[in-house]
Structure 1
Amino acid sequence: MTIFLRLMKESDKQSAMVSAISASRAGLSDDRVFHADPIDFKIIPGAPFSYWVNQSIRSAFIKHTRFESEGRTAKQGLATADDNRFLRVWWEVMPSATDWYCFAKGGAHSQHYADVYLMVNWTSDGAEIKNNLNEKGGIRSNVWMLKDTAPKFFFRPGLTWPLRTNGLSFRVIPSQCIFGHKGPVGFSSSDDELSLLGLSAVLNSKPFGYLVSLQLARTELAQSYEVGLIQQTPVPELNSSQQADLAVLAHRAWSLKRSLDSIEETSHAFALPAALRACLGDYDPPAINVELVRIQAEIDAIAFDLYGFSDADRAAVQGDQGAVNEGDAEVSADDEGDDEDDAPPIDQTAGLLSWAVGVAFGRFDWRLATNERAAPAEPAPFDPLPAKSPGMLPDGAAPFHAHAGILVDDQGHPHDLARLTEEVLARVDAPVPEDVRRWQQRDFFAFHLQRYSKSRRKAPIYWPMSTTSGHYTLWVYYPSLTSQTLYTAINDFVEPKLKQVGDDVTALRNKGSARTRDDDKQFETLHDFEKELIELRDTLLKLAPTYKPNHDDGVQISAAPLWPLFRHKPWQKLLKDTWAKLEKGDYDWAHLAMNYWPERVREKCKTDKSLAIAHALEDLYIGPEAAPKKTRGRKKAGGDE
C-alpha cells in the first residue's frame, strides 16, 4: 500500500501537508490521507492516478459492460471544415428547403433536452462538402473518415453531448438530424424511444458522470469528453421495469426543459413570449426547476442502486464531484463559444415587443394568446424537428397584417410598424408601452441582432434600411426577400414619401415672405429630409438592378450588398467586410457571387468541383489528368540488351 495526500481544497497546502503527515504517522484518521495499491489503478481504463477512489467504485468497471456493447455505440460526426459556407441557423433556411438538415454541433451544458438550432447543407448526400478540397487535393472535411458513419448513423435518433462543457450532459437528438464532430451521438441498436430515454437517464446520472470523470484524472475534466471515453465507461444492465421507470423520468425532464424553451423566439419549441406564456396554461419556471431537481435526485438514486454503490460510495461521489469541479470554472461553459445559451435572461417587455413585431410581419400567430387557436400537441422527443415552431403562423393561415415584405417607420402610413406593434399588443390585451416607436428606432435592432445570433452566426431577419439620419426606416423581412424587394421599397414607399415631402417643401417655399419663423424651421427640416430621401432612393435604384438574393446564401451574405443602407455600426461594418470578401472572391460558392461576377465564378468551376456543384455547373468542371502509372520493364533472358 502507498500513502497519498489529497490537499485540493486546502488554501495553505504546506501547513495542510504537515498536518496530514503528522496524523498519518500518529495512526489518526484524516480524510486527506488515502491508502491505495497503485496496481489497482489499472482497473480504470487509462490507469488514471485515482488514489482517492475506493475499490468498490473501481469495481464498476469490472461488474458492468462498457457503453460500447449490448447494441449501443457512440460515433463522432461531421466537421464541415467551412462552417460559414455549409452551416446556417435554422431560421435562415426557408421551410420549403429540402437539402438542409438539422445539425447537432455541441453547445452549452443541458441534460435531456436542448434545441438543435443549426442546419447543414447536405445536398446530394453532402456532395459539395465531399468535393471541397485543399491545395494538395485532399478533402478539407473529415467526411472521408465517415464513410461508414454517414449512411448508418446520420438521421437516426440518439443522445448527443457537447465535447467541451463544465459537466457532462446528454440530450435527445431527434431523428432526421446530422451530427457534428463537436456533438457526437450515442445510439441504441433498436432506435426505440424507451431504450434511448432509459439510457438518457443513466448517462445523465451522477454515478455515470463520476465514472467518466475518474478516467479524466480530474485535471482534464471539462476539457474534452471524447467518444472513446464514453465508449469505455460502464453502463448497468436494465430490466424492462427499470428501463420503463427511468424512461418516464427522462421523458418528463425532457418535457419540462422543452417548456422552459417555449418562450425563446429562436427555438423550435417557441410558443409565446414570457409575458404571455401563461395563456397556454400553467407556466411556472421556479416550480419547473424544483421538479427537475427532484427528477434528477430520483434518477441518481436509481442509478446508484443499479451500479451497486453503497451509502459510503454515494457519499464519496457526492463529495468528490464538488472537489473535481473545483478549479475548472475558467473552462468555457460552452463549446468554444459556439452559442449564446448563457446570455442573460431577456427582459419581458423587450421580448413581448419583439414578438409583436414578428406578428406584424406575419411570422408569429397572435391567436395562441387569445385562445382562437389551440397550441399544437407536444411532439415525442425523437420526432423530427418542425420547419416552423408552434408559435409561428401556420401555412395557409391569414396573417395579422398583409404586406409585401416591408414595413416602415412612418407615422400615419398603413404599413407603419410602430402602429401595427401597438395593435398586436392591444389585440392580446397586453399593456402597450408609451414609447414603442422610440424603442424600435433606438433599441430594437441591437436587441434583435443579439437574440438572432448563434454559433458565431449573426442572422437578424428584420432589416432596418434607413436614411442617413435614421428619421425614415424601411423594415425588410428576410424570409420575404426577393429580387423585387428593392423595387417595392422604391415604388411603394420611398417615391410616395418623397412626393409628400416635396409637396410640403413646395408649399412652404411658395409662402415666400409670409413664412413664419416656425415655417422656416420646418422648411429647413423638410428640405434636409427631402435630400436624405433622394439619397436613399438613388442608392436603392443603384442596387436594385443587380440585386438577386438567394436564401441559401444565408442572412449575412444576402445583406452584404446593402451595407450602405444600415445605420447600426457593428452590423454595417460586418456587412461591409463581407462585401469586400465577396468582391475579392472568398465566397464564390455563394449565389450572389455568381450573380455579380459570373465570369470569375464560372472560370473557377472548371477546376473546383465543389464550386461547380454549388452552382449546378458540373458540366464545366475539368478534372485533373490522372498521373500515368509507372510500369516495370521485364528483364530479357540472360540480362543482355
Structure 2
Amino acid sequence: MTLFIRLLADQDKQKALFAAVDSFRRGETRSNFYEVAPEDFSDIPGSSFAYWVTKNIRNAFTAFPAFSTGRTNACITNPAGDDKRYIRTWWEINPSLRPNLSWRPIAKGGSYSPFYYDVHLVVAWNPQRETYLGFIGTEHRPLEKPASVDFFFRPGITWPSRTQEFGPRVMPSGCVFTGKGPAAFDLENSAKHLLANCALMNSTPFKALVGTRLNAADSTARSFEVGIIQKTPAPDLRGDVRDALAQLAKEAWSLRYVMDTVEETSHAFLLPAALQARVYESSTLSAELYLSRIQADIDLIAFDIYGFTERDREAISQIVIDASDDASNDKEDEDEVISLPADAESTLLSWAVGCSFGRFDWRLATGERKAPSAPDPFDPLPAKSPGMLPEGAVPFHAHTGILVDDPGHPHDLARLVEEVLTRVDVAVPEDVRRWLQRDFFAFHLQRYSKSRRKAPIYWPLSTTSGSYTLWVYYPSLTSQTLYTAINDFVEPKLKQVGADVTALRNKGAARARDDEKQFESLQAFELELIELRDTLLKLAPTYKPNHDDGVQITAAPLWPLFRHKPWQKVLKDTWAKLEKGEYDWAHLAMNYWPERVREKCKADKSLAIAHGLENLYIEPEAAPKKARGRKKAGGNE
C-alpha cells in the first residue's frame, strides 16, 4: 500500500505537508490520508491516478459496461470550417432560395445548462451533397462528408466539451453536432431511453466517475472529451428505473424550457418577464427549488443502481464540484459573448419594438391568442418561437420594413411602441422616444450577440447628429429597401423641412429670436437630410443584400449610416476585409467584385461550391509519385 496526502484545499501547502507528515509519524489518521495499492489504478481506463476515490468507485469501471456499448453511442465529427463563413445565429437567416444551401441547427458547445439549452446557431448545409456547404475535408485529408454524418439530425444528448461541470442536455431532432458539442445517441431513437440516460449522465455518481477519469477535483475548467464519456461506466437502464429517470429528466427539461420563454432570442420565447405571469403562474424561484429536488431524486436512484455506499458518497463529494456557485464563469466556448442581465423595462420595450415591426404577437399578452403547448424535448426546433407572429396573422402595424423616429409620422416607432404597451394594458414609461434614441440599439446589439456573432435585426440608419433615424427591419431587407427609404421617408421629410425653412426665410427681418433659432436649426437639419439622401442614393444602385451572408456582412456597406460607434467600427472593418477579398465566399463579394471572385473559384473548390460555380473549378494535376529506389546489397558503394 502507498500513502497519498491530499493538499488541494490548503493555501500553504508546504506547511500543510509538514503537519501531515508529522501526524503520520505519530501514528495519527487524517481525512486527507489515502492508502491505495498502485495496481488498483489499473481498474480505471488509462490508469488514472485517482487515489482519493474508494475501491468500490474504481471497481465500477469493471463492474458496469462502458457508456458507449450496446444501444448507446457517443461521438464527435469534423468541424464545419470557418465559423464566419458557415455559422449564423438562427434569427439572422431566412429560408435560402439556393438549391445547394439550407440552414440546420448546430450544437456547438455552450455554457453549463443541464437537461435543456437552446440551440441558437445554424450551419450552412448542402442538401444535394449531404454535407456542410463547401466541405472538402482538409488539404492533407480530403473528405466527401464529415465523420459520424449518419448520426446527424437524430435526437440525442449533447454537452459542451469544456465547462467547469459536465452538463449533458437534450439535443432536438434535426441538429448537427460538433467537436465542441459532442453528442450521444440511442441506436433505436427512443426518447425514453435518451431521457433516462440524460438523467443518469447528470447524476452525481456519473459525474464523479467522469471526474475520476479526468484526474480533476478542483474548480478549473475541464475538458469533457467524447473518449472520456464513452468509457464511463453506465448501468443498463431498464424497466421502472429507466421510466423513473426518464420522467425526472423530462420534468427538469420542461422547467428549464419555461424559464427560457422570457429570452427574446430563444426558440422558446413567448413573452417578456414583465408579462410572463399572464401565461405561467410559477416563479423562477420555485422552478429552481423544484430543479434541486429533481436532482436529489436522480442522485438517489443513481447511487442505488451503482451500488455506492455512504463512504463512497463521501468520497464522491470531493470529486464533483457544485457548478451552481460558479456556473456564470462557464464559457460558451472561446467565441462566447456573455449576456448581461436585462432590466424588466428594457426587455418589455424591446418586445414592444418587435410587436411594432410585426415580429412578435401582442395578442399573447391580451389573451386573444392562447399560448401554444410546450413541445416534447426531442421535437425539431421551430422556424419561429411561440411568441412570434404566426404566418398569415395580421401584424400590429403594416409597414414595408422601415419605421422612423419622426413625431407625427404614421410609421413613427416611438408612437407605435406606446400603442403596443397601451394595447396590452401596461403603463407607458415617461420618455420612450429618448430610450429609443439613446439606449435601445446598444441594448439590442448586446442581447442579439452570441458566440461572437453580432446579429442585430433592427438597424438605425441616421443623420450625422442622429436627429433623424430610419429603423430598418433586417428580415424584410431587399435590394429595394434603400430606394423605399429615399422615396417614402427622406424625400417627403426634406420637402416638409424645406417648406418650413422657406417660410422662415421669407419672414426676413420680421423673424423673432425664437424664429431665428428655429431657422438655424432647420437649416442644419435640412443639410443633414440632404447628406443622408445622397449617401443612400450612392449606396442603393449596387446594394443587393442576401440573407445567407448574415447580418454583419450584409450591413457592412451601410457602415457610414450607423451612429453607434462600436457597431460602426465592426462594420467598417468588415467592409475593409470585403474589399481586400477576405470574405469572397459572400454573395455581397460576388455582387461588388465578380471578376475577382470568379477567378478565385477556378483554384478554390470550396469557394466554387459556395457560389454554385463548380464548373469553373480546375482540378490540379496530380503530382507524380516519386519512385522508390532499392537498397543495394552490401551497403554503400
TM bucket (normalised to shorter chain) is: over 0.9
Structure 2: distance between partners of 1:70 and 1:526 = 77
The number of aligned residues is 623
Contact 1:101 1:119 in 2 (8 A): yes
Structure 1: distance between partners of 2:627 and 2:319 = 66
Identity percentage over the alignment?
A: 61
Residues 306-325 of structure 1 aligned to structure 2 (within 5 Å): 306-322=305-321
- Among 555, 573, 576, the alignment partner of 2:551 is 555
In the alignment, structure 1 segments of 5+ residues that lack a partner are: 634-641
| 1:205 aligned partner, one-letter code | S
| Deviation of the 1:17 alpha carbon | 2.3
- Deviation sequence 1:265-322 (CA, Å, 0-9, x none): 0000000000001111313000000000000010011100011001121122124434
Contact 1:107 1:338 in 2 (8 A): no
Structure 1: distance between partners of 2:61 and 2:517 = 84
Residue 466 (str. 1) matches residue 471 (str. 2): no
Match of 2:223 in 1: 224
| Deviation of the 1:613 alpha carbon | 1.8
Contact 2:449 2:455 in 1 (8 A): yes
Residues 519-598 of structure 1 aligned to structure 2 (within 5 Å): 519-598=515-594
Structure 2: distance between partners of 1:631 and 1:65 = 50
- Deviation sequence 1:67-110 (CA, Å, 0-9, x none): 11021111113312300000000001115666110000001001
Match of 2:43 in 1: 43
| Deviation of the 1:343 alpha carbon | 2.9
Contact 2:131 2:146 in 1 (8 A): no
Residues 184-583 of structure 1 aligned to structure 2 (within 5 Å): 184-218=182-216, 222-322=221-321, 333-340=330-337, 342-583=338-579
Contact 1:48 1:217 in 2 (8 A): yes
Contact 1:418 1:437 in 2 (8 A): yes
Aligned residues: CA RMSD: 2.1
SS of 1:120 mapped into structure 2: strand
| Deviation of the 1:385 alpha carbon | 0.2
CA shift in 2, pair 1:127/1:181, >3 Å: closer
SS of 2:460 mapped into structure 1: strand
CA shift in 2, pair 1:109/1:24, >3 Å: same
Structure 1: distance between partners of 2:596 and 2:472 = 30
Residue 80 (str. 1) matches residue 85 (str. 2): no
**Deviating more after overlay: 248-257 vs 212-221:** 212-221
**Deviating more after overlay: 550-559 vs 50-59:** 50-59
| 1:263 aligned partner, one-letter code | V
Structure 2: distance between partners of 1:193 and 1:486 = 49
What is the TM-score normalised by the length of structure 2? 0.94
Contact 2:211 2:319 in 1 (8 A): no
| Deviation of the 1:43 alpha carbon | 0.8
| 1:128 aligned partner, one-letter code | L
Match of 2:109 in 1: 106
In the alignment, structure 2 segments of 5+ residues that lack a partner are: 630-637
Structure 1: distance between partners of 2:206 and 2:404 = 55
SS of 2:545 mapped into structure 1: coil
Structure 1: distance between partners of 2:323 and 2:428 = 46
SS of 2:381 mapped into structure 1: coil
Contact 1:166 1:331 in 2 (8 A): no
| Deviation of the 1:62 alpha carbon | 1.2
| 1:336 aligned partner, one-letter code | D
| Deviation of the 1:519 alpha carbon | 0.5
Contact 1:157 1:176 in 2 (8 A): yes
**Deviating more after overlay: 417-426 vs 312-321:** 312-321
Structure 1: distance between partners of 2:617 and 2:104 = 27
Match of 1:68 in 2: 68
CA shift in 2, pair 1:618/1:95, >3 Å: closer
CA shift in 2, pair 1:294/1:145, >3 Å: farther
CA shift in 2, pair 1:74/1:298, >3 Å: same
Contact 2:216 2:319 in 1 (8 A): no
Match of 1:24 in 2: 24
| 2:335 aligned partner, one-letter code | D
**Deviating more after overlay: 216-225 vs 264-273:** 216-225
Contact 1:78 1:179 in 2 (8 A): no
| Deviation of the 1:632 alpha carbon | 10
CA shift in 2, pair 1:330/1:423, >3 Å: closer
Residue 606 (str. 1) matches residue 602 (str. 2): yes
Structure 1: distance between partners of 2:534 and 2:48 = 69
Match of 1:131 in 2: 136
CA shift in 2, pair 1:147/1:476, >3 Å: closer
